[in-house]
Amino acid sequence: MEFTANQIAEFLEGKVEGDGEAKVNNVAKIEEGKSGTLAFLANPKYTSYIYTTNASIVLVNKSFKADKKINSTLIYVEDAYRAFVSLLEMVAEAMFEEKTGIEEPCFIHESVTKGTNLYIGAFAYIGKNVKLGNNVKIYPQVYIGDNVTIDEGTTIYAGAKVYHDCVLGKQNTIHSGAVIGADGFGFAPTDTTNYKKIPQIGNVILENYVEIGSNTTVDRATMGSTIIRKGVKLDNLIQIGHNVEVGENTVMAAQVGIAGSTKIGKNCMFGGQAGFAGHLIIADEVKAAAMSGVAQSVKEKGKIIMGAPAYDISGFMKSFIVQRNLPEMSRKVRQLEKDIEELKRNL
């Protein structure tokens, strides 16, 4: 598909500066832009590339001011990043054919309730009493256990597993290899060195507009429910323990781990490999930097934490400055010790 700058500007309600008939048929990062591609500039770190990029069209914020000549056609918009995402959504809809129908072979139990406009891929397994809403898409080799409910518009990609009794809301996306509802890590020590497994009889509830990344696992509750609230986005390779609750619109990067029964607030952001101990309370809008180790509850809304063990980022940065200077401080201390010894000898 090919679009002109004028067509794109009309779609985005933007303003063209340059050749309105410049055409693009692909997208690219601004530093890798080629003739015929569209790029965007949102992060100031990449400003230098706008003067060297070969992209035919570049989306920029209305606040952008050029310091020198730019060869590309510019489209000024309110938010270049969001505008670019809107274009990607439009391109994706045009590129990818919507799948419908039931492929063979697959197993669908006779008790399954099926909505309209379904897609069920080959080798999928759908157990007893499952309820599938309208426009649900289940890709090949997906396993859906008994008594699962999947609401309208949810997509489950190839190889994902949803264990029995779990509830998936509307417009969720479950990526390949994800496991929803496996047993929580519950074992009781016995009077020997062995452990006795604690039955995990709860379930997992995913509310609406949740996205679960590839090979991420969300464990079922021991009792009650593990709950992922509306709008949560989980990256690949994340572990959510049993009876955890994740608040609305919280996002987590890859390899985050949340231990059992911890309650995460709304609109939180966790960097990669951040780890949270069990039975904690994390307030709304808390941000945890990558590789943070969180061992205590965070009750202050909007707090930013860092380190292992994690604490307030301002304190962490002050400590880091001291830590960075430790070799020089150590050298000075050793020199002072030598000077003191020399003074003692002279006295």
pLDDT tens-digit map of 29-72: 999 999 999 999 999 999 999 999 999 999 999 999 999 999 99
Residue 92: pLDDT band with limits 50, 70, 90: confident
Domains in the chain and their CATH numbers?
Answer: 3-95 (3.40.1390.10), 101-315 (2.160.10.10)
Measure the CA–CA gap between 33 and 56, rounded to whole angstroms.
8
Give the chain's end-to-end CA distance (angstroms, integer). 89
pTM across the whole model: 0.86
User: Which of 109, 164, 175, 242 is flagged as catalytic?
Assistant: 242
The reported pLDDT for the residue numbered 36 is: 95
Q: Which two tokens stand for residue 59?
A: 């989306």
Whether 346 shows a pLDDT value over 90: the answer reads: no
Let me know how long the chain is: 347
**Of 119, 106, 38, whose CA–CA distance to 75 is shortest?**
38
DSSP string spanning 15-60?
EEES-TT-EESEE--GGG--TTEEEEE-SGGGGGGGGT---SEEEE
Instruction: State the pairing for strand pair 37-41/101-102.
Output: unpaired
315: CB partners within 8 A, 6+ apart:
none
Q: What is the mean pLDDT of the chain?
A: 95
**Of 144, 141, 155, whose CA–CA distance to 98 is shortest?**
155
| Mean pLDDT lowest among 50-59, 77-86, 144-153, 338-347 | 338-347
Measure the CA–CA gap between 306 and 13, rounded to whole angstroms.
40
**Of 26, 48, 21, 47, whose CA–CA distance to 36 is shortest?**
26
Whether 94 shows a pLDDT value over 80: the answer reads: no
Residue 186: pLDDT band with limits 50, 70, 90: very high
Q: What percent of the chain has pLDDT over 70?
A: 100
The reported pLDDT for the residue numbered 178 is: 98
109 belongs to the catalytic site: no
Q: What percent of the chain has pLDDT over 90?
A: 86
Residue 306: pLDDT band with limits 50, 70, 90: very high
- Encode pLDDT of 170-182 as tens digits: 999 999 999 999 9
- Encode pLDDT of 95-136 as tens digits: 777 889 999 999 999 999 999 999 999 999 999 999 999 999
Measure the CA–CA gap between 13 and 86, rounded to whole angstroms.
12
Residue 155 · residue 194 · CB < 8 Å: no
Residue 192: pLDDT band with limits 50, 70, 90: confident
The reported pLDDT for the residue numbered 317 is: 84
3-state helix, strand, coil in the chain (%, to 5): 20, 30, 50
What residues pair up with 168 in beta bridges, in sequence order? Answer: 150, 206
Prior bond of 105 cis (ω within 30°): yes
| Mean pLDDT lowest among 48-52, 122-126, 214-218, 336-340 | 336-340
Residue 164: pLDDT band with limits 50, 70, 90: very high
